[in-house]
Amino acid sequence: MSTSSVTDAPGAAFGGSRPPALIPQPREARFSADRLPVGRIALDPLPASLAAYQSHIERLMATVGDHSESAVRMSVTAMNGPPEAYELEIGADAVLIRASDAHGALHAARTVVDLWDGGNGRHLPHGRVDDHPTYRTRGVFTESFAGTDLMERADWQAFIDRLGQLKLNTAGISIYGCWDIRHDVDRSEYLFVPLDEFPEVRTPQRVVTWDPDSGEEVTLEYLPRIFTENFFGELVRYAAEQGIELIPHLGGPGHSTLLPRLIPELSAWDDDGNPTGYGYCVSRPEARAALSAVVSNITRQHLRPHGVRRLHVAADEYYPIRNVDPEDRLRVVSPYCRCDGCRDMSPGQQLIEYLVTVGRSLAEDGITMVHWHDTLEREGVLNRYRERVAEEDLPAPVVSWWKYNDPVPVPDASGGETWVSPTTGLFATLFNQDFSPNIETTLRRGGRAGATGAFAYTMQTPSDHANYACFADLAWNLEGSGGATGFRRRWAELICPDDADAATHALSLASTVTGSYPLMMYLVQHILPYFSTAAAGVTAYPDDIIRAASITQPPLEDAYRQVKATLLDAAGIMPEGRNVRHWGSPTETWRRQSIRLAGSLALFLDVLEAAREPGEDHAGRLTDRGVQLMRQTADATPAYLVPATIREHWGFVREIGPALERLRATGGPVAKESWHAWIV
């Protein structure tokens, strides 16, 4: 069935309203006005073919019911159908499930939970659901970065719980990733699993931030929590119990600064035969052996013992970049090896040799690979790489096509299993964005091209709940979703069942700002220091952005004012909503994030005005407002994200006084004037 409908009997009530919105939306769901009170669910034993997740189904069913003695029987039987398909019937005295496989039975149980929650924990509606997913693989990959490195066991488990209830079946966790230098002139390197054969390979972090408790600047030094407590394997098992395959991600050979620096045997060489500490040699036997040794250590210690069958070997962004050498941040550093065996290879050929070396090591243990598409496609070697894999008799890799802004590429799915990757959130420590347009475009193009997987990029934060839900919704039932617009209406019905019209209006209004990638990424996000920290010696923060906002044409100051006003207007329209399992109150989270951005813009604009008044001293008052904003932000942010998130705000707040002095000393911003005579 290619469409979806959710209906109820004419004039019927369901807890005083229509049947609850279900996300992801089923392909077919019909409900009547009748209700089934549930004291508890009495689950019959599942057939062996469907019982893989029986323990988790039992845990889910333990959350359904009012805990009275009235038991409702739930039985599960097998049926023929596509993967993960199920049929759910709720009648006068029983719940019946038919499923094509164990995943289908699990998804049916999750739908029961959603219906119970939507009925305000009082009853289930009589009705029937027929369902199966569009994309066979549906998952979210979370990056190793500032914030995720402080996630505790419970935070990771909550992340998996959230994915499971959205009927996703795959989770990615980056276990090794490196980035360019950012705040405080420190390398951005993250290793999430210890390597017992390479104990020197560690990624200590230093974060200079502001502490809401003491009200003072603090310096935090730590190792990633998942590394120090070594609980990656526990997460693999925890996910597997919920029908979720956990795929670890190994960054490289692009922007890989840690392994080549600390294990120089595998490093790329420069023209003089010296290790560069950036990039990999792929020709010298000792270099290939060192790379294989690292991969074998990961396999032996973290993959094989926990039944991991796929490793995401990144292969993305493999090109020269600057801002990775602490001694000269403007120097362009190349990942390409210049030894005698490598120098005549093209970048694409070096990438192929790297991937084949890693693939050989993994194949010994039956582990297959997933890659990002971009460098293989850009260097024109995707088909040659596939040929080489076949020649080496290696397992065919999955290739996932990604891009988070327009134009989204059309994937080539002709050469093997293909996924597509939108984003559900790029920077968890910056301002939230609405990525539903990117999600819809990526999944639609993937579907038309024959992709079988949808695998979104994220940095885990509950404030991106709507993006996660949109991704799960469209990946499950793309044909009947109505795209991002259809999702928004159903999302409003889910989070604000008593006033979905007002919620839809508020979301639509805010999305004119947060759903615009150019506006958010190239203007709004720059009032925080994150992007300015990548250009050492090139930009002066916040002076440059204040000066830019003060010019008459183009009217950037007025753009910031419009963004602020729009978000405050939308926040005022949004009605109170309900709690959603695993996520808290989506409307309250959304409102607080909208007000956080509006408040940050208001502070920025008032600093701009203060810079135009050389005889006035507003620094103390504005700094106090910044402190209040940081406290509000900390209260609305998960504990693991607080240090890195507040670091962004503190980077501006601590500069208010000094920036005002610098701006006034150099003439300050231009005088305020209207950029158009009829717009005031």
Q: Which of 9-23, 26-40, 330-344, 655-669 has the lowest mean pLDDT?
A: 9-23
> Cα angle at 379 between 378 and 380, to 5 degrees?
90
Range of the domain at 112: 5-131
User: How high is the pLDDT of residue 676?
Assistant: 67
Model pLDDT for residues 244-270, shown as the tens digit of each residue: 999 999 999 999 999 999 999 999 999
Alpha helices in 636-678 (DSSP H): 642-653, 656-665
User: How high is the pLDDT of residue 5?
Assistant: 46
Domain membership of residue 397 (yes or no) is no
DSSP 528: S
Question: Using an 8 Å Cβ cutoff, are 435 and 424 in contact?
Answer: yes
C-alpha closest to that of 23 among 580, 605, 606 = 580
CATH assignment of the domain containing 50: 3.30.379.10
CA distances for 219 relative to 209, 222, 376, 644, angstroms: 6, 10, 40, 11
Question: Using an 8 Å Cβ cutoff, are 99 and 78 in contact?
Answer: yes
User: How high is the pLDDT of residue 680?
Assistant: 54
User: How high is the pLDDT of residue 679?
Assistant: 59
Model pLDDT for residues 15-73, shown as the tens digit of each residue: 333 567 999 999 999 999 999 999 999 999 999 999 999 999 999 999 999 988 889 99
d(CA 112, CA 61): 8
Asked if residue 600 has pLDDT above 80, the reply is yes
Name the amino acid, one letter, at 417: E
List beta partners, residue 89.
96, 128
State if pTM tops 0.85.
yes
Asked if residue 116 has pLDDT above 80, the reply is yes
Phi-psi domain of 404 (left: phi exceeds 0; alpha: psi -120 through 50; beta: other): alpha
Model pLDDT for residues 341-353, shown as the tens digit of each residue: 999 999 999 999 9
Number of domains in the chain: 1
d(CA 589, CA 575): 12
Domain membership of residue 624 (yes or no) is no
User: How high is the pLDDT of residue 12?
Assistant: 31
User: How high is the pLDDT of residue 616?
Assistant: 79
Q: Which of 19-28, 274-283, 488-497 has the lowest mean pLDDT?
A: 19-28
Mean pLDDT of 371-390: 98
Domain membership of residue 110 (yes or no) is yes
Asked if residue 528 has pLDDT above 90, the reply is yes
d(CA 435, CA 469): 11
Asked if residue 569 has pLDDT above 90, the reply is yes
Model pLDDT for residues 193-244, shown as the tens digit of each residue: 999 999 999 999 999 999 999 999 999 999 999 999 999 999 999 999 999 9
DSSP 318: -
User: How high is the pLDDT of residue 427?
Assistant: 94
User: How high is the pLDDT of residue 677?
Assistant: 62
User: How high is the pLDDT of residue 415?
Assistant: 92
Asked if residue 615 has pLDDT above 80, the reply is no
* b/e 83-109 (16+ beta carbons within 10 angstroms → b): ebbbbbebeeeebbbbbbbbbbbbbbb
